């Protein structure tokens, strides 16, 4: 009995799915470091270079967010049909070309065309969508742990790429930084995508490293409802409400993080440093969050994380000393782990069959709030010369994010 137990444990620990997680750290690092968190570094330089107002510059990023959500639906359908590997490869190549053309743009029209029309439709496949689909296919019981480990790539990407981009912008300008971003996406994204596998059945394995049944009747089927069936459930809309709430607050903060730091009295370079430290501190935080979520309950950890981030936002609103800004940035850091937990909940609730399509439908449904807040923040700043109204809106959204999971009940397709 001991021999059998040890054999199963070795199979679990040597499971190829953990290698998939390791591979996906590459595109995660590139997509997050360059676009998701690094995008805020470009806001003020674009204003100064092209003579834009804060509202127009914010419109660029808001429009990109709207396109992110709209194309997530199509990307989800394509991933469920063709597998995330092909979609990731194509997305890496398009995003690389997009950043090169973005760097070469000499007027606001071309900046909008290449950023919104070429980069934004595919970049979330690099940063989040494909890796989440891989992990959902490869894991079941350890889904939240694996999803959160992916966020290590996001933290490392931010830790390395944000200083690199900030230095490039300060020394040579935003166009050179965009070329650096293009190189990072290609180098970190393409090789890992080529080495990945869509799901364990391609290698004769099962999720979580469970030993295949030697006398089984065939490969394990992808279980779960269709996207149309999922949309009709209260669970779908509970999870969508949570994504809408924290997603809008998170997007607004990501786009305006450095400008908010400048508004609080910190220069752009130190603001980039605060962002880097916040991202770096999120690495151990999100890993612990995933581990706790698989043991204490994913909904509870989502609610608790929202409360912690809410306290950081309130600290930014109510205090001014520089040291409190650094504390606030550390309290905001766990928010980077929210998406992995939510996508683990989506996988828990709806299985593997239509995961990417369902996930894409959620991202499309939250477009009005996730795309709207960055733009509203820019308009409000132009009118009031203050980010206080935006931060109060973020606080309210994080309060909603803390409340909804407390009333939601999530079960797996098998009822477990």
Which tens digits make up the pLDDT trace of 342-394?
Answer: 888 888 888 888 888 998 899 888 888 888 888 899 999 999 999 999 999 99
pTM above 0.85, yes or no: no
Other Cβ atoms within 10 Å of 386 Cβ, number: 11
Predicted confidence band of residue 141 (pLDDT cuts 50, 70, 90) = confident
Given a cut of 60, is residue 206 above it in pLDDT?
yes
**Which domains does the chain possess?**
13-203+223-407 (1.20.1250.20)
Give the residue carrying structure tokens 């029309």.
117
Residue 35 · residue 115 · CB < 8 Å: no
Which tens digits make up the pLDDT trace of 302-317?
Answer: 999 999 999 999 999 9
Give the residue carrying structure tokens 């394995």.
205
- Residue 415, classified by CB atoms within 10 Å of its CB into exposed (0-12), middle (13-18) or buried (19+), is exposed
Which tens digits make up the pLDDT trace of 245-265?
Answer: 999 999 899 889 999 999 999
Q: Which one is predicted more confidently, 117 or 406? A: 117
pLDDT score of 336 = 83
- Across 53-82, average pLDDT: 89
pLDDT score of 391 = 96
Given a cut of 90, is residue 188 above it in pLDDT?
yes
């Amino acid at each position: 009995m001991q021999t059998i137990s040890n054999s199963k444990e070795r199979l679990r620990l040597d499971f190829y799915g953990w290698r998939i997680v390791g591979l996906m750290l590459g595109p995660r690092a590139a997509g997050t470091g360059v676009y998701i968190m690094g995008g805020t570094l470009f806001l003020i330089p674009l204003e100064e270079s092209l003579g834009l107002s804060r509202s127009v510059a914010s419109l660029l990023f808001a429009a990109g967010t709207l396109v992110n959500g709209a194309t997530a639906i199509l990307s989800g359908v394509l991933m469920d049909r063709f597998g995330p590997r092909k979609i990731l490869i194509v997305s890496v190549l398009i995003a690389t070309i997009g950043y090169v053309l973005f760097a070469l743009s000499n007027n606001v029209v071309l900046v909008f065309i290449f950023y919104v029309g070429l980069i934004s439709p595919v970049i979330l496949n690099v940063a989040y969508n494909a890796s989440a689909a891989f992990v959902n296919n490869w894991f079941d019981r350890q889904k939240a742990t694996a999803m959160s480990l992916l966020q290590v790539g996001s933290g490392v990407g931010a830790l390395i790429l944000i200083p690199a981009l900030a230095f490039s912008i300060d020394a040579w300008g935003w166009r050179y930084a965009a070329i650096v971003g293009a190189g990072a996406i290609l180098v970190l994204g393409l090789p890992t995508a080529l080495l990945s596998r869509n799901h364990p059945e391609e290698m004769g394995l099962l999720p979580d490293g469970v030993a295949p049944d030697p006398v089984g009747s065939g490969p394990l089927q992808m279980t779960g409802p269709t996207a149309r069936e999922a949309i009709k459930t209260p669970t779908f809309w509970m999870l969508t409400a949570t994504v809408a709430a924290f997603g809008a607050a998170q997007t607004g903060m990501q786009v305006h993080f450095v400008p908010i730091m400048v508004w609080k009295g910190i220069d752009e370079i130190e603001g980039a440093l605060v962002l880097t430290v916040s991202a770096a501190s999120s690495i151990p935080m999100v890993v612990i969050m995933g581990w706790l979520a698989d043991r204490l309950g994913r909904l509870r950890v989502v609610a608790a994380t929202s409360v912690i981030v809410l306290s950081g936002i309130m600290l930014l609103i109510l205090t001014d000393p520089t040291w409190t800004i650094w504390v606030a940035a550390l309290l905001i850091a766990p928010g980077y782990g929210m998406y992995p937990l939510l996508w683990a909940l989506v996988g828990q609730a709806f299985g593997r069959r239509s995961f990417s399509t369902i996930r894409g439908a959620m991202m499309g449904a939250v477009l009005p709030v996730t795309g709207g807040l960055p733009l509203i923040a820019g308009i409000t700043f132009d009118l009031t010369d203050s980010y206080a109204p935006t931060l109060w809106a973020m606080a309210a959204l994080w309060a909603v994010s803390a409340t909804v999971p407390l009333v939601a009940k999530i079960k797996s397709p098998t009822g477990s």
